[in-house]
Amino acid sequence: MTNATSESSLYIGLHLPGDQKPTTAALMKLQRDGLRERGQLAYGLGYLDDPAAIALNPLHLPLRRESYVLPDRLLRDGGAMPLTVKDALPDAWGRMVLAHELGGRIPSERELLLLTNDDRVGAMVFSETRNMPTPAELPHHDLGQLAEAARRLQYDMEIPKPLKRLLQRGGSLGGARPKASFTHDHALWLAKFAAAGDPLDVQIMEATSLGLAAQCGIRVPQYFTLPVGHGETAFLSRRFDRYDIESRQRLHFLSASALLDIPYESSAGSYVDFARELRRLSVSPATDLEELFRRLVFNLLIDNSDDHLKNHGMLYAGNGRYRLSPVFDVVPQLTNLGYQMLSIDGDTQVSHLDLAIQAAPHFGLSVDKGSSIVSDLAKTVYGGWQIYAKAAGVPDAIRKRLDSCFKRQGEIIGAGKYIA
């Protein structure tokens, strides 16, 4: 089996700005030889001649007539598929749903891309032929039934056929948590549910975090929470990569992983690295750089150490430029480990506000301005989090955990001198 040779191809389409249907943009071919993989990616000549054409990735796959040679890599090191394309793969939840649909068989990455066109974040779609798939209509499901389908899958319970079709296949933002597409007010929303083994109501904590983030000058999507069966809560957020009536149009999204060309599972990359690329691409660099700095500080303050490269990204803004996307997946981890998944400066994973302030010039800020932002945010978070917890309906037990966590976190990151 290790000497087996195979070849596969996939057409890549994009929903261009203003279009409700995807346009065929490129062809990717992958060849496997034993445990290694190599390939090529080429834009279509017709696509290149389209004045509206945009690059799959302006930094690593800019528009050009020559094909790209995808490097020969071991499959265990990720293979030859570009990280821009891997951005479109479903998360752990989506893979679980698809494996269930396939009777337990683990689907290949090619299958994963083909089966998740409707749900994934951004504007990319995939097809076995030049003809792109027809966009699906908005789903119209009952939230309680969605929650029940997700619960049954997690606990390996029998799932009635009417519920199976409700399961979210993944590809959207939201990490590995159980989720489903949900229609609200003629728009596409993402519904997140409780995960098996959750000690606390993570959905309510996420709502609290977004309320605080907005108060800290950070853009957040529309969101709200609703009770569902079994005494659980659903967290719903409007998809910021979809717009127009019935969410018929899609915005191209690139994660920081794709923009830096660094696998998000690695410990490489940093906020400073992302800031450098953001400066090159942003339609409003000064605004986006300051907001990225605020997000860095906010994650330190609330003990959100799960701030890896796929939890940051940019949305296409027209004319070859991008904009920092609204924040997502911002939840206190309640672990107080003292390090971040994404390094501040690339030299250390340590969580400390002094490191953030030292890095402020990389975000277009003076050290004094960075210090002022840190002070303002520390006072807002530690002085006002209980207001937003109450507004989100956080139970007393969770408030006590948050209070304990924030006190420890403040000591770990050196917040005392910025609050006094």
Answer yes or no: do 230 and 260 share one domain.
Answer: no
Cβ atoms of 293 and 356 closer than 8 Å = yes
pLDDT at 120 over 50: yes
**pLDDT value at position 197?**
85
Torsion of CA 221, 227, 229, 233, to 10 degrees: 50
Give me the pLDDT at residue 253, please. 97
318/218 same-domain check = no
Q: Which residues contact 145 (CB under 8 A, 6 or more apart)?
A: 162, 163, 166
Q: What percentage of the chain exceeds 90 in pLDDT?
A: 75
Q: Is residue 370 within 8 Å of 357, Cβ to Cβ?
A: yes
Confidence grade of residue 163 (pLDDT, cut at 50, 70, 90): low
Same domain, yes or no: 245 and 255: no
Instruction: For 314-369, write each residue's pLDDT tens digit.
Output: 999 999 999 999 999 999 999 999 999 999 999 999 999 999 999 999 999 999 99
- The confidence band for 245, taking pLDDT boundaries of 50, 70 and 90, is confident
CATH number at residue 236: 3.30.200.120
273 and 403 co-located in one domain? yes
Higher model confidence: residue 150 or residue 349?
A: 349
The residue among 235, 250, 265 that closes a domain is 250
Asked whether residue 72 falls in the same domain as residue 171, the answer is no
- Residue at a domain's end among 205, 229, 250: 250
| Average pLDDT for 404-412 | 98
* Same domain assignment for residues 290 and 398: yes
Using pLDDT thresholds of 50, 70 and 90, give the confidence band for residue 171. low
Note whether residue 65 is domain-resident: yes
Summarize pLDDT for 246-260 with one digit per residue, the tens. Answer: 888 999 999 999 999
Looking at the structure, do residues 370 and 278 belong to the same domain, yes or no?
yes
Is there a single domain that holds both residue 99 and residue 68? Answer: no
Give me the mean pLDDT over the 78-107 stretch.
89
Residue 121 lies in a domain: no
Q: Is residue 123 part of a domain?
A: no
Residue 159 sits in the same domain as residue 202: yes
One domain for residues 408 and 349? yes
pLDDT, residue 52, reads 96
Question: pLDDT confidence of 94, banded at 50, 70, 90?
Answer: confident
Name the pLDDT band for 408 (thresholds 50, 70, 90).
Answer: very high
Q: What is the CA radius of gyration of the chain?
A: 22
| pLDDT value for 1 | 44
Instruction: Calculate mean pLDDT across residues 32-50.
Output: 96
Residue 166 has a pLDDT of: 58
What is the per-residue pLDDT across 179-222, written as a single tens digit (0 to 9) for each?
888 899 999 999 999 998 888 999 999 999 999 999 999 999 99
Residue 126 to residue 86: CA distance in whole angstroms = 12
Q: Name the residue type at position 37.
A: E
Do both 244 and 299 map to the same domain?
no
Residue 117 in domain? no
Q: What are phi and psi of 240, to 5 degrees?
A: -85, -5
Per-residue pLDDT, 146: 87
Model pLDDT, residue 376 = 98
Residue 56 scores a pLDDT above 90: yes
Place of tokens 């989090």: 385
Residue 175: pLDDT band with limits 50, 70, 90: low
How do residues 363-394 score in pLDDT, each as one tens digit? 999 999 999 999 999 999 999 999 989 888 89
Q: Tell which of 220, 250, 280 closes a domain.
A: 250
pLDDT at site 164: 65
What is the number of domains present in the chain? 3
pLDDT of res. 290: 98
Range of the domain at 219: 87-106+135-250
> Is 124 inside any structural domain?
no
C-alpha separations of 8 from 111, 121, 129, 139, 390 in Å: 11, 24, 12, 31, 53
115 found inside a domain: no
pLDDT single digits (tens) 96-108:
888 888 888 888 9
Q: Average pLDDT in the 129-135 region?
A: 94
* pTM, 2 dp: 0.94
